[in-house]
Amino acid sequence: MKRAALVVLGAYLGLLGAFVHRHVWRLHGVDWPWGLVLAVLVTYVVVLAADRIAPVGGAWLGLGWGIVLLAQQFSPGGSYLVASDWLGWSFTLGSVGAIVVGVIRTPRLGQ
């Protein structure tokens, strides 16, 4: 049951990140991608929390996250949430990196 909940949480996290990562703050002609930073950091923190809930919980969360991203890409008309620009690629690769680092970083001995 915990694993299924983590997959659903990962899907929800991926969907929220897809909405939030495009937000920028413009200051003196420079766009600061606060939404991208927030989405990647929250993904990392939630992966670490998921690993405390269930063994390899971060991987289960990553599965749900990946399903949402793939579902967007293969939907008719392509993805409307994650564009193929620097923000979209940074969100995708940054979040995947956060998931991988979060899963690998968690110690497995004693579980």
* Residue 60 resides in a domain: yes
Structural domain count, the chain: 1
* Residue 16 resides in a domain: yes
Query: H or E element: which one contains 88?
Result: helix 86-105
pLDDT value for 82: 72
Closest C-alpha among 110, 2, 100 to residue 58: 100
Looking at the chain, the number of H-run helices and the number of E-run strands are: 4, 2
* Residue 31 resides in a domain: yes
* Residue 69 resides in a domain: yes
- The pTM assigned to this predicted structure is 0.85
E strands, the chain, are 25-27, 30-32
Residue 45: which domain range? 2-105
At 53, the amino acid letter reads I
* Residue 111 resides in a domain: no
pLDDT per residue rounded down to tens, the chain (111 residues): 889 999 999 999 999 998 898 888 999 998 899 999 999 999 999 999 999 988 889 999 999 999 988 887 777 766 666 777 888 889 889 999 999 999 998 776 555
* Residue 110 resides in a domain: no
